[in-house]
Chain A
Amino acid sequence: MSPMERRSSVALLSVLFLGIALLYVPILVLIAYSFNASPLVNVWGGFSIAWYGQLLHNRQLLEGALLSLEVALAASSGAIVLGTLAAIALVRFTRFPGRLLLTGMVNAPLVMPEIITGITQLLLFVSMVQLLGWPHRGFTTIVLSHVTFCTAYVTITVQSRLQAADRSLEEAAQDLGATPARAFVEITLPIIAPALISSWLLCFTLSLDDLVISSFVAGPGASTLPMVIYSKVKLGVSPDINALASLIVCAVGACIVAARGFMIRGERRAAMEAQLAAR
């Protein structure tokens, strides 16, 4: 390596580490604060887990958390089904009326500002209630709007996975008399399973995290966890939110790392099986 190249890689690595530091320092500091006995952020009052204990007595937070978990469970499960169907349609059927429309509609929610999605969906729900008497604002409308943006994420993830999947195995199964549906379920579904699991998790966390869209469509009765957190945070830093944030960040982080490990193992096994099959 020439001295110039070495200098440039040192510069590259410094920017990389600076970027990573920018991403992580605030979270690490927040976790440190959550163990601070003093409610003042700039004074270290000793180590304490009191703020974690307080969370258990905050009814509003607990109810918000329960609603958010229910919504996330329903929305990510619904999105997995719709998103996988959309991915199959886009990868396997190269020509059908509405293909361009579907492509646009699965990509647009990824970049559409949430505030626009939120208000337009609310206006839809309100107009639907006027015309059809359904759906009333609350759990149902939050789930429906979360399914919409989650479907986009599922489609993109599963789509790239399906494109990479080897179709010859499925074709072989069909040559041996399996129906296309059966060949898909028995051959391709296991291959794309890791992508399904990871996109389900992604949807779950995205749904759990959504503030803007939920605020618009939830209506006056229902408050999800981010809505409760937002109204508290708006008033300033509060130590019990530090504790809650640390819990959420660590739980999500652990889940993602575990899922990642699981996916990598699954991929290795699939690669090994493919090698064995080729022999």
Chain B
Amino acid sequence: MRRTWAPGRWLIILPPLLFLLIFFLIPFAFAFKISFAEAAPRVPPFTDVISFTADHHLRLAISFGNYRYLLTDEVYGVAYLYSLRTAFFSTLICLALGYPMAYAIARAPRPTQGLLLLIIMLPFWTSFLLRVYALEGIIRDTGFLNTALLHLGLISQPLHIMRTSVAVYLGIIYSYLPFMVLPLFATLEKLDPTLLEAAADLGSPPWRAFWDVTLPLSIPGVIAGSMLVFIPAVGEFVIPSLLGGPNQLMIGRVLWDEFFGNHDWPVASAVAIAFLLLLVGPIAIYQYYNVRQLEA
């Protein structure tokens, strides 16, 4: 009889399970706790939420002030809405650009396919920060784009793109496009070509076959790709910070400033928790489709 892993299997399961539990999941509990504290001039800079009094009684000092502050100071609402809107439209543009790209790669002959995938993947491997910086070299007033357009006589004044919403959109699309193309390609590649042949045999014109067969079957890829762009884009910090101006207030930037500028850790925690609650829906959708795809 074949021996099983049974006794030793916890040696395999426990290290990653415990590590991720301690360093990924439990931190949220601490952030949750500290979001009810108050800023205080000490190390670390906040009051104790849970403490023990001298006679060993548990003492809870919960303050809802941070959440009240989030609701009353309009900066946070504006930043949340701006982040959601920017991420939503960038995701749509990525989808509009990424779908035809993925489709073209999926239809390319095998050896070319590998090369094209490598070309799409390569920017994903190279530094994110440096790529955003490289984009700045293109779109700034004295950048490549303006110099070229002025030289060609197409414009007489440089276009002001830096520190506008257009720059933030460009930055997100440029940085996250590969995340859209790859999952789309993965579902389009698995598509059975005989289905399209069947549709053609039954008299369907190609666009109709695409609409009725290809598109519905690629929905899991559309959702995975959109979530991989949308969720990180909502929380983007580097792009609005380097390319955006003071009006491109995204939630990631507000959190960063609250933490590094104002040193208000409890408010920053409350921003993070509120932000996380906003993301629970999209993340759950992503997980659902992801798990289903893996189990399939």
Is B a genuine binding partner of A? Answer: yes
Give chain B residues whose Cβ lies under 8 Å from the Cβ of A155. 16
Residues 263-296 (chain B) with a chain A CB within 8 angstroms: 265, 268-269, 272, 275-276, 279, 282-283, 286-287, 290-291, 294
Q: Which residue of chain B has its CB nearest to the CB of A86?
A: B16
Tell whether, in the assembled complex, residue B174 and residue A22 are in contact, meaning their CB atoms are under 8 Å apart.
Answer: yes
Give chain A residues whose Cβ lies under 8 Å from the Cβ of B130. 30, 209, 229, 245, 248-249
CB of B194 closer than 8 Å to a CB of A = no
Tell whether, in the assembled complex, residue A120 and residue B134 are in contact, meaning their CB atoms are under 8 Å apart.
Answer: no
Give chain B residues whose Cβ lies under 8 Å from the Cβ of A145. 23
Q: Classify the interface of chain B: helix, strand, loop or mixed.
A: helix
Tell whether, in the assembled complex, residue A85 and residue B16 are in contact, meaning their CB atoms are under 8 Å apart.
Answer: yes
Please tell me which one of the listed residues B44, B134, B178, B232 contacts residue A30 in the complex, with CB atoms under 8 A apart: B134
Give chain B residues whose Cβ lies under 8 Å from the Cβ of A101. 17, 21
CB of A116 closer than 8 Å to a CB of B = yes
Tell whether, in the assembled complex, residue A105 and residue B21 are in contact, meaning their CB atoms are under 8 Å apart.
Answer: yes
Chain A 83-101, CB within 8 Å of chain B: the 1/0 string?
1011011001100101001
Min CB–CB distance A103 → chain B (angstroms): 6
Tell whether, in the assembled complex, residue B125 and residue A13 are in contact, meaning their CB atoms are under 8 Å apart.
Answer: no
What is the CA–CA distance of A40 and B141 in the complex, to the nearest angstrom?
12
Residues 53-111 (chain B) with a chain A CB within 8 angstroms: 97-98, 100-101, 103-105, 107
CB of A109 closer than 8 Å to a CB of B = yes
What is the CA–CA distance of A110 and B136 in the complex, to the nearest angstrom?
26
Please tell me which one of the listed residues B4, B121, B136, B181 contacts residue A19 in the complex, with CB atoms under 8 A apart: B181
Give chain A residues whose Cβ lies under 8 Å from the Cβ of B122. 253, 256-257
Tell whether, in the assembled complex, residue B127 and residue A130 are in contact, meaning their CB atoms are under 8 Å apart.
Answer: no
Give chain A residues whose Cβ lies under 8 Å from the Cβ of B2. 171, 174-175
Tell whether, in the assembled complex, residue A212 and residue B237 are in contact, meaning their CB atoms are under 8 Å apart.
Answer: yes
Tell whether, in the assembled complex, residue B123 and residue A115 are in contact, meaning their CB atoms are under 8 Å apart.
Answer: no
What is the CA–CA distance of A151 and B25 in the complex, to the nearest angstrom?
14
Number of A-B contacts (CB under 8 A): 270
Q: A residues within 8 Å of B by Cβ?
A: 4-5, 8-9, 11-13, 15-16, 18-20, 22-27, 29-30, 33, 40-42, 81-83, 85-86, 88-89, 92-93, 96, 98, 101-117, 119-121, 123-124, 126-127, 130, 144-145, 147-148, 151, 155, 159-160, 163, 171, 174-175, 179-181, 201-202, 205, 208-209, 211-212, 215-216, 226, 229-230, 233-234, 237, 241-242, 245, 248-249, 252-253, 256-257, 260, 264
Q: B residues within 8 Å of A by Cβ?
A: 2-5, 8-9, 12-13, 15-17, 19-28, 30-31, 34, 44, 97-98, 100-101, 103-105, 107, 114, 116, 118-123, 125-131, 133-138, 140, 142-144, 146-147, 173-174, 177-178, 181, 205-207, 227-228, 231-232, 234-238, 241-242, 252, 255-256, 259-260, 265, 268-269, 272, 275-276, 279, 282-283, 286-287, 290-291, 294
